[in-house]
Amino acid sequence: MLTAEKVIKEIYLLPLNERQKVARHIIEFGIRVPHPDVPEILDMKAWQDEIARKPFNLKQASEYLGVSSVTLRRWVKAGRISASKIGRAYTFDVMDLKNLKKAHLTKKRKSLSKLEL
């Protein structure tokens, strides 16, 4: 029986340009619009919920926000964002990161619109 695990292993064995074609196809047809001949294999809502349940580490959070890890540590110390710390490792709630990013983008848009006036 063909399983997702077997398919993924086979994809990794493909040459890079072929893997890129597969990735493009999955992104275009498997996520945005289902291809008419292929059943939907990815439940976006469930996938996003699964990602949101797992906390991000410092590196993942800084990449998501587009800032350096030093900046993110400063924001934690300043209380701009909350984080859990075990030893030296920070973890961040995904929803907190989304809210911070959304608030930051909203401020940016407002400042840009003021410049245009």
Name the percent of the chain in helix, strand, coil, to the closest 5.
Answer: 65, 10, 25
pLDDT of residue 17: 87
Q: Give mean pLDDT, residues 25-34.
A: 64
**CA end-to-end span of the chain, whole Å?**
63
What CA–CA distances, in Å, run from 106 to 10, 67, 99, 109, 113?
43, 17, 10, 5, 11
Pick from 4-8, 42-46, 74-78, 112-116: least confident: 112-116
Residue 10 has pLDDT above 70, yes or no: yes
Q: 18-27, 29-38, 92-101 — which is least confidently predicted?
A: 29-38
Topology of domain 55-116, CATH? Multidrug-efflux Transporter Regulator; Chain: A; Domain 2 (1.10.1660)
pTM above 0.75, yes or no: no
Q: Where are the domains of the chain?
A: 4-42, 55-116
